[in-house]
Amino acid sequence: MAVNVTVLYPAEEGATFDMPYYLKTHMPLVTEKWSQYGLQAWKVIQLLPGPDGSKPYSVAALLTWESADGLGKALKSDEAQAVFGDVPNFSNKSPLFLMGDIVGSS
């Protein structure tokens, strides 16, 4: 069963995020390091304020994996250190990770 990982970067005061670096350097690094574990695709979304006008997060990355097993192996791999170690190069805040099985789509 396919798995989705949503990575959310906070929009709190003082938070910085370098979108050009993220798109041109970090996400290609993610692809290079984790495709072997079943990373199938990714999307990056520049988030807008919600209906109430609040904007708790500025950026979301959606990563689709072949399986939870592959995701687990990627997170425990030596390559994970390179991926997570790159975060300070584009953000001064730690992201929130949401992971789950894809149970429906259109």
List C-alpha distances in Å: 91 to 23, 57, 72, 100. Answer: 13, 12, 24, 24
pLDDT tens by residue, 55-65: 999 999 999 99
3-state secondary structure (DSSP) of residue 86? coil
What is the model's pTM?
0.94
DSSP-assigned beta bridge partners for residue 42: 63
- What pLDDT digit, counting tens, does each position of 31-76 carry? 999 999 999 999 999 999 999 999 999 999 999 999 999 999 999 9
Looking at the DSSP bridge assignments, the partners of residue 57 are 10
Overall CATH class of domain 3-48+62-96 = alpha beta
> What tokens were used for 94?
């730690």
For residue 105 the two structure tokens come to: 């789509």
